[in-house]
Amino acid sequence: MKTAVGAVILGLSMLLVPGILLADEVFPVDRDLYPWYPSLVRWEKTAAEFHPPAVCADCHRQQFEEWSGSLHALAFVDPVYQGELQKGIKAVGRDIARQCEGCHSPAAMVTGELAKSKFGKLSKLALAGVSCDVCHSVSGVTHQQTPSREPENGSLVLAPGRADGSLVKRGPIAPPAACGGGFHDCAESSLHRSSDLCASCHQVLHFDKHFPLEATYQEWKGSVYAQMDIGCQDCHMVDTATFLRSSAFLKPERAEYRHFFNGANYLLYHLAQAAALKSGDAAAAQRFARQYDMAVARLQAAAQVEVLPTYVAGQLVEVRLRVMNLRAGHALPTSLTNVRQMWLELTVTDETGKVLRSSGKLDPQGQLEADTRLFNSDGMGESMHFAIDPWVVIGFSRHDTIPPHGYRDVVYGLQLPKGVETVNVKARLRYRQADQKVAEALLAAVPADINLKAIYGLERVPQLPVVDMAVTSAKLAVQR
């Protein structure tokens, strides 16, 4: 009896010990394992230091220049991100910043620099965001130990070197004998060939409730691309021509991988190019212009729209538009789907060009018509009412994206006037990073030391650029 009582007392006492997890918690957090929670980055701290990208450029010029034009290089200085970050800090408190900073500038987050310095006083390492030394210092992941027991919120391990201060850099291939040139040692890492590396930061969950706000990795993992061994690197670390093959399930050759890290955020490339031109850096402007073109080309290759008419008793009564995700290894759209906007624009005209039916138009202020058919999500907070801020959203009341190699049908009814014999149908699948008013609010919230006019030449937020991902048309007989 004493033994049983003692076991119960011991069990109860263990619940009070820091680092011991309560069994009935849905999302248990090990605060000892994750000292920077809500960021789940771990740092094997030694005398080995992190280094800014310019140090790497001495020996890796091509990789440095490719990375310099990438979204990884812009991850922290992105003014839209900075605006969102400031809004989150104001709403929830400074601690929430670690969730964002752990993926947007991990090295500066774990060293404490971001918590101590304002934006204008940060080092080159901090401003470099997802830099060379971040990715090549990753020694492992803790995906199975996170609160959700899956990749989330930076669940990676940073280990830039050994206890004696010597540096170790990891990559996807077996290093040659002279690798590192005496500055660092090299190690082959199978993780760097795997999508599990990317999963750490491309699977973003609510900082407290652990609802998946961004599920890009899980979208991929549940797709045919994962089954066919086409991973993140195969599409995002290659040029456009190689991407077109990868997305058709042909694995790139080793020499085809580059440090582009290209994605759909063409708005950030657009802003970065403007900043480079304003500062007189023609080479940087050219790099960002190239990445912008690559992003647009990927978007325009990703989807297709097909016009499918419906006849009842020989009369055209509706048009069905089939939107297909042909080349994205994740959902369309992905990332913050409650912020991204992908929509259909439809115009139906008669033989004279008179508009008989339209939907999905933008007004002069950049706002979409109320009946626009959007492919994205609607977030909701604890009140179960609409919410858009990521620190508020704990669920989706609507989640309508298109899975890899999947499709969505949208039906438009037609009430055609008498005398019309044929109609012309034009459909466009359009995309932009966010609603116009959302973008304006985020850019208005940037830190005081980010001067949008001085850096980007912006006196006001212009209408966000829109990419036409797919355009199709059809001439249909009214009677058949």
Residue 25 confidence (pLDDT): 82
What value does the mean pLDDT take over residues 367-386?
A: 97
| Domain locations along the chain | 1-29, 33-221, 269-296, 303-477
Q: Over 50: is that where the pLDDT of 319 sits?
A: yes
> Which tens digit of pLDDT belongs to each residue from 389-434?
999 999 999 999 999 999 999 999 999 999 999 999 999 999 999 9
Q: How far apart are CA 466 and CA 468, in angstroms?
A: 7
Indicate the pTM of the whole model.
Answer: 0.93
What value does the mean pLDDT take over residues 299-314?
A: 98
pLDDT band (50, 70, 90) for residue 24? low
**CA neighbor of 134 nearest in space, from 86, 200, 230, 231:** 200
pLDDT band (50, 70, 90) for residue 3? low
What value does the mean pLDDT take over residues 364-386?
A: 97
> Which tens digit of pLDDT belongs to each residue from 42-95?
999 999 999 999 999 999 999 999 999 999 999 999 999 999 999 999 999 999
Q: Over 90: is that where the pLDDT of 23 sits?
A: no
Q: Over 60: is that where the pLDDT of 302 sits?
A: yes
Mean pLDDT (the chain) is 95
pLDDT band (50, 70, 90) for residue 266? very high
Residue 267 confidence (pLDDT): 97
Residue 84 tokens, joined: 């969102």
Fold of 303-477: Immunoglobulin-like (2.60.40)
Q: Over 80: is that where the pLDDT of 6 sits?
A: no
pLDDT band (50, 70, 90) for residue 8? very low
Q: Over 90: is that where the pLDDT of 9 sits?
A: no
Residue with more model confidence, 3 or 103: 103
Q: Over 70: is that where the pLDDT of 16 sits?
A: no
Residue 12 confidence (pLDDT): 42
Q: How far apart are CA 119 and CA 135, in angstroms?
A: 23
